Amino acid sequence: MTGTFGFPLLPKVPVSTFESPSSGSAVSSGMHFPFPVDAVRRRFPALADGRIFLDNPGGTQVPESVIEAVAAYWTRSCANVGGAFPASRDTDSVVLEARRAVADLLGAPDPHCIVFGASMTALTFHLARSIVETLRPGDEIVTTQLDHDANVAPWRDAEAVGAVVRSAPLRRADATLDTEALVALLRPGKTRLVAVTAASNAVGSVPDLRPVIAAAHAAGAWVFVDGVQSVPHIATDVQALGADFLACSAYKFMGPHVGILYGKREHLEALRPHKVRPAKDTIPHCWETGTLNHEGLAAVAAAVEHIASLGEGTDRRTRILSAMARIGAHETALCARLLAGLATRPWIHVHGIIDPERLHERIATIALTVDGTTPRAVAEHLGAHRIHCWSGDYYAVNVMEALGLAPTGAVRLGIAHYNTAEEIDRTVAALDQLAPSGSG
C-alpha cells in the first residue's frame, strides 16, 4: 500500500496493553501502558541482531519506512525544485509535505514557518548571524549552563558587536536549570534574546520554560529554544509554548540527518537572511541556503508518519499527541527501572534527577560515572557487550564543567521508544562487572 508520491504507508500498530516494565520498582506496581514495543521493534532492521542501542541522544535508529522513503524518492522523484517537468513537481510536493509533517509534529501554525538545513547547529549559526546584525553595543543575550554548545557558541558571536552574553547557572545538586536565576538576569530594554534548552542532551533535565518565556517576552526579548532532545520524547506545541524560534534534528526522532528550524513568521520576515542573490525572497525559502536534501526530506515526512502511526485520532496532529503520550509513558517506565537498578549500586553515580517522584522533570537520558573507571573505559566495556552508549561531554561543555566532570565527562545512556525492560536489565548486569573489588 502506498501513499503520496508512491511512498509506503505504515500499517497502523494495534494497541495492546502490556504490564509496565517498572512494576515492582520505583514506579507504582501494576501500572499498564498501551504501547506495543514488540510490534514497534519489528519495524527497525537494526534491532534484529540483538544489539542494544542506548546511544539514542546522539542519533536514533530508523524504521524501514524511512529507509524506503529515501529509495522511493531516488527512484521516482529525483530532481531539483521549480522545474517544468513531473519529477521536479514531485520534489516540490515532497518538500511541502515535509514542511507540513514537521508543522504537525511541532504544533506550528503554518508549514512555511519551517526551515530545513544541514543540521540544528548550522541553522542556529545561520539565524544567529542575522540576529547579531540587529544588536547594538550594550544589548544582552542570555544563555544557560544546561545547554549543548550549539545553543551557546552561536550567540557568543554577539560579543564582537559589543553585546553582552550572560549565562544562567544550573543547580549542581540535581543538574537542573536555575530558572529563577535566569529570570533575574533579564533586563527590560537590554535583553534581546534568551537561548535555552527544552531538555538537556547530557543529563536529561527538562526545565519549565513557560515562566522563562513569559518573563523574556515581558522584558522585550525573543526566545530561541533548543528542542533537539525534547522533540523525540515530549509532545511539542510551539504556539502554546510561545517560543519565537525552536530548532531540532530529524535524526533524533528516527529520521535522517536534517536540521529543522521553526520561527514565528513575523520574525523570519523581519530579519535579513544571508543568501545568494537569485534565491527566492519568500519565507521560508530565503532562509534555506543552497539545494535542500530532498531525499532526506522525504525521510523526514516518513519519520513523522512513524510517530503518528503509534497514536489514535482523526488527523495527524492528534495522532502525534496520542503517540507522544504513549512513548513518554513507556520511556519513563524504562527510565525508572534503570534508575532503580543503579540506585542499589553505590559505586555508580547518576548526575541529574533521581527522585522517582520527579521523573516528569526529565527525559530518559542518564549521565553516570563509575568509581575507579573512566567514562571511556565504561563505554568500551559496554560496547564489548554490544551495548551502544556515549562517553565524554557530548558538546555539553558547560554542563560538565558545572558538575565538576570535565574534561573526561560521563557515560550517557539514552532510552528511546524501541528499547525494552530486558535491555535495561542486560545493561545493569554488564555494569555490575565493573564493580570495584569489595563493593558487593
For 196, phi and psi rounded to 5 degrees? Answer: -145, 150
- C-alpha dist (Å) from residue 366 to 222, 354, 363, 401: 30, 9, 8, 17
Strand partners, 16: none
pLDDT attached to residue 278:
76
Task: Find, among 228, 213, 290, the residue nearest to 260 by Cα.
Answer: 228
User: Do 195 and 162 reside in the same domain of the chain?
Assistant: yes
> Which of 253, 272, 307 is the endpoint of a domain?
307
- C-alpha dist (Å) from residue 385 to 53, 366, 400: 11, 19, 27
- Residue 201: other Cβ atoms inside 10 A: 28
Cell readout for 340 is 532503580
**332 contact partners, CB below 8 Å, separation of at least 6:** 27, 359, 360, 364
Q: Are 262 and 246 in contact (CB under 8 A)?
A: yes
Q: Are 201 and 365 in contact (CB under 8 A)?
A: yes
> Which of 307, 335, 354 is the endpoint of a domain?
307
Residue recorded with cell 511541502: 96
Q: Are 413 and 422 in contact (CB under 8 A)?
A: no
What CATH number does the domain containing 48 carry?
A: 3.90.1150.10
Domain around 12: 4-62+325-432
What is the pTM assigned to this prediction?
0.92
Strand partners, 167: 143
Quote the DSSP letter at residue 156: H
User: Do 209 and 80 reside in the same domain of the chain?
Assistant: yes
Residue 375, domain member (yes or no)? yes
Residue 438, domain member (yes or no)? no
User: Do 30 and 75 reside in the same domain of the chain?
Assistant: no
What is the C-alpha to C-alpha distance for residues 348 and 337, in angstroms, rounded to an integer? 15
Task: Find, among 416, 417, 411, the residue nearest to 430 by Cα.
Answer: 411
User: Do 341 and 206 reside in the same domain of the chain?
Assistant: no
User: Do 110 and 253 reside in the same domain of the chain?
Assistant: yes
User: Do 55 and 81 reside in the same domain of the chain?
Assistant: no
Residue 437, domain member (yes or no)? no
**362 contact partners, CB below 8 Å, separation of at least 6:** 199, 203, 204, 205, 206, 335, 352, 353
Residue 360, domain member (yes or no)? yes
pLDDT attached to residue 279:
75
Q: Dump pLDDT digits (tens) for 86-97.
A: 999 999 999 999
Residue 317, domain member (yes or no)? no
**H/E stretch holding 65:** helix 64-76
User: Do 150 and 257 reside in the same domain of the chain?
Assistant: yes
Pair type for strands 348-351 and 365-370: antiparallel
Q: Are 378 and 385 in contact (CB under 8 A)?
A: no
What are the b/e assignments for 259-284, b being 16+ CB within 10 Å?
Answer: bbbbbbeebbeebebebeeeeeeebb
What is the C-alpha to C-alpha distance for residues 296 and 221, in angstroms, rounded to an integer? 34
Residue 319, domain member (yes or no)? no
What CATH number does the domain containing 272 carry?
A: 3.40.640.10
Residue recorded with cell 500500500: 1
Task: Spell out the SS3 assignment of 355-399.
Answer: CHHHHHHECCEEEEEECCECHHHHHHHHHHCCEECEEECCCCHHH
Residue 440, domain member (yes or no)? no
User: Do 117 and 248 reside in the same domain of the chain?
Assistant: yes
pLDDT attached to residue 15:
40
> Which of 307, 335, 370 is the endpoint of a domain?
307
Pair type for strands 170-171 and 164-168: unpaired
User: Do 215 and 361 reside in the same domain of the chain?
Assistant: no
pLDDT attached to residue 14:
44
Collapsing DSSP to helix, strand or coil, 74 comes out as helix
pLDDT mean by block of 10 residues, the chain; 440 residues: 35 39 32 76 97 98 98 95 95 98 98 98 98 97 98 97 98 97 98 98 98 98 98 98 98 98 97 87 92 97 98 97 96 97 98 97 98 98 98 97 98 98 98 85
What is the C-alpha to C-alpha distance for residues 268 and 413, in angstroms, rounded to an integer? 36
Collapsing DSSP to helix, strand or coil, 239 comes out as helix
